[in-house]
Structure 1
Amino acid sequence: MTEPLRVGLLLPTREMAMTGSWDIRPVLELASKAEELGFDAVWTGDSLTARPRLDPVVVLAAVSGATERLAVGTGALTAALRHPLLGANLVSSLHHAARGRLELGVGAGFPMPESEAEFEAVGVPFAGRAGRLDETVRLWKQAWSDGGPVFEGRHLSASMLDRLPPPAVPGGPRVWLAGSDTPRVLSRIARQYDGWLPFLPTAEAYGAAWDTIRGKLAEYGRPADAVVPGLYATVGLGADRASAEAELDGYVRGYYGRPLELMRGIQAYGAGRAEDCAEWLSGYVRAGARHLVIRLGTLDPWPQLKELADQVLPAVRAQALAERSD
């Protein structure tokens, strides 16, 4: 039997910059509506200058106060943009604000020129960022579990970890790695992370990578259920595939400055009618995904949100139930 399916919605904080409106109230209203419609979580991204948006810790703290049941997640926090001790304190603070409902997705930094410039702006080397991220996570977990006041690693060293505020629950939140399917990334996930949050373009690639992670968990002596298989997917709903593709292409060009055709080779994008998108997402569920983080590929999420909840999610959840009963 597999884990039950959970579905999260990515909150449109990047879209605020795209439209020039920085009013956080619509984001909080969207989170409340997502809770009402039966979503399990809301997530938000992180970027300082590459793809500017409001800080995810602040946004999710506000969302936590506006909701009761929803998990809140970072998808994903670029840990290098904050000093490791500051990051540990921010995460612990958010864990308390969310009353333990935090899912912490982290990323090393998307390999694009804009991301490299962002690292330079805060004085952090772009090279070696994956190793520094892994050490940052180990430092955080040491601080959250009373593992001693001093951390010494290849990239990082810190003291006074015992003086930091503890998280809401001993050990802190689950930490997910937002990463691809390279052998090194899959090994890192199996070795130390609690969740995997990729955006692989095909369900076939997802299934192969997930099989690799499961095999490596045994190699590292970790339980078979130590890693939650997630998916970051962008969905564009429309009356037909052509109109949905056209809107999604405009959205992607505004978001990344690159066409959908190019980004589709890197990330997971599904567009079309509700039944088309349900079948596309179900392919990932059949491949093993158990926590979907869905980004709506539109600057006006309200019409698509209800269609997603009423038509797409029931079909995807039914697929997950079928998988559990097999």
Structure 2
Amino acid sequence: MSLSIGIMLPSRETAMTGRHDARGLIEFARIAEESGFDSVWTGDSVLARTRVDPLTLLAAVSARTSRVTLGTAALIGPLRPPLLTSAQAATVDQLSGGRLILGLGSGSPLPESRREFDALAMPFTDRARRLDEAAELWRQAWAGESRFSGRYWQIDGLDSALPPARLGGPPLWLAGGDSDRVIARVAEGYDGWLPYLPDAGAYARGLARIGELTPRPITPALYATVCIDDDRRRAHDTLDTYTRTYYRQPLDVLSSFQAICGGSAQECAAWLAGYVDAGARHLVLRIGSLDPHPHMLAGRLLPLLRQAGSS
């Protein structure tokens, strides 16, 4: 499997700095495609970490791009009625000509996440199980099956659901760590694994465990935050400002459980190459800056990662 390199659209960054520039995000995606990225991604939150709606944004991006994969990193599946999400995802897949990937999460165990679920009148408990069942419901809807019968939903007439562009529908990737339960869920029912583990060794071990549990091909991906700056102290300070603004936590705390690197293009490429050597085949890169632009990675980091992926 060849190496694919994607970039996050700064949907949260524009919102939390007060710019709220949905059109600018579409232009960011267009420039990312022109710059050579293989995919563009966007996150999800209605209230906890407010940003533009991910599937609506990707529908618009599909009209301004022709090649890049369009992904969610990550869509909080249990926040929405699953049949509605099925129709929205199928619509984006049709509009894009089959370029959609749904990276999925169940929501964090934080108070602001619980408040978000409550505001949308969606159950906060059992949300991981609800996500797994929703994923199965989507697959059955996209396959044209007539009835779904699960623990949380029972639906007749499912064969009337909107079909996606591709047989079987968009690939479904599970975002999460390397706990035994997450690894088992990936192996049981998902097409890809999208963790943000801070250690390449842990990534390799998690991927090996997935391989032991299933013979199905699973796309090994990685969500990582990078800040390119030849001055390492300045890169650290930029990232620290970013994490304190985004997560209200200092860099030293966040980097203990998220994949984050700041430094020169060569240093960041070498760090990411460790994950590539560990088996990662789709890198989803977030720029750790409050004012990001694709050229921050395209000119210097992207060529180095291409070399790492071909070696």
Q: Distance between the aligned counterparts of 1:83 and 1:264, measured in 2?
A: 34
Deviation at 1:245, TM superposition (A): 0.8
Deviation at 1:125, TM superposition (A): 2.2
Q: Is 1:284 the equivalent of 2:275?
A: yes
1:10 corresponds in structure 2 to 8
Q: Is 1:262 the equivalent of 2:253?
A: yes
Q: Distance between the aligned counterparts of 1:140 and 1:91, measured in 2?
A: 9
Deviation at 1:319, TM superposition (A): 1.7
What TM-score do the two structures reach when normalised by structure 2?
A: 0.97
Q: Distance between the aligned counterparts of 1:210 and 1:40, measured in 2?
A: 22
Q: Distance between the aligned counterparts of 2:306 and 2:186, measured in 1?
A: 26
1:206 corresponds in structure 2 to 203
Deviation readout 1:47-66 (Å, 9 max, x if unpaired)? 11110000001111111101
1:145 corresponds in structure 2 to 143
1:319 corresponds in structure 2 to 308
Q: Distance between the aligned counterparts of 1:6 and 1:252, measured in 2?
A: 26
Q: Is 1:180 the equivalent of 2:169?
A: no
Question: Contact conserved, 1:131 with 1:155, CA < 8 A, in 2?
Answer: no
1:157 corresponds in structure 2 to 154
**Equivalent of 1:169 in 166, 179, 190:** 166
2:291 corresponds in structure 1 to 300
Aligned residue identity for 2:267: D
1:244 corresponds in structure 2 to 235
3-state SS, counterpart of residue 118 of structure 1 = helix
Aligned residue identity for 2:115: A
Deviation readout 1:77-120 (Å, 9 max, x if unpaired)? 11111111111111111111111111111111122221122112
**Aligned residues: percent identity?**
49
3-state SS, counterpart of residue 52 of structure 2 = coil
1:50 corresponds in structure 2 to 48
Aligned residue identity for 1:165: L
Q: Distance between the aligned counterparts of 2:243 and 2:48, measured in 1?
A: 15
1:76 corresponds in structure 2 to 74
For residues 186-225 of structure 1, the aligned pairs below 5 Å read 186-218=183-215, 222=216
Q: Distance between the aligned counterparts of 2:92 and 2:285, measured in 1?
A: 22
Aligned residue identity for 2:169: G
What TM-score do the two structures reach when normalised by structure 1?
A: 0.93
Question: Contact conserved, 1:274 with 1:307, CA < 8 A, in 2?
Answer: no
Q: Distance between the aligned counterparts of 1:259 and 1:209, measured in 2?
A: 27
**Mind listing any 5+ residue stretches in structure 2 that lack a counterpart?**
none
Deviation at 1:307, TM superposition (A): 4.1
Deviation at 1:184, TM superposition (A): 0.9
Q: Distance between the aligned counterparts of 2:26 and 2:53, measured in 1?
A: 14
Aligned residue identity for 2:72: T
Q: Distance between the aligned counterparts of 1:134 and 1:81, measured in 2?
A: 13
Deviation readout 1:29-49 (Å, 9 max, x if unpaired)? 111111111100100000111
Q: Distance between the aligned counterparts of 1:291 and 1:217, measured in 2?
A: 20
3-state SS, counterpart of residue 70 of structure 2 = strand
Deviation at 1:306, TM superposition (A): 2.1
Q: Distance between the aligned counterparts of 2:308 and 2:21, measured in 1?
A: 37
Deviation readout 1:281-321 (Å, 9 max, x if unpaired)? 1111011000000000112212xx32422221222221221
2:225 corresponds in structure 1 to 234
For residues 18-167 of structure 1, the aligned pairs below 5 Å read 18-148=16-146, 150-167=147-164
3-state SS, counterpart of residue 214 of structure 2 = helix
Deviation readout 1:202-221 (Å, 9 max, x if unpaired)? 11111110111111113xxx
3-state SS, counterpart of residue 247 of structure 1 = helix
3-state SS, counterpart of residue 232 of structure 1 = strand
Deviation readout 1:110-142 (Å, 9 max, x if unpaired)? 222211221121122222111110000000000
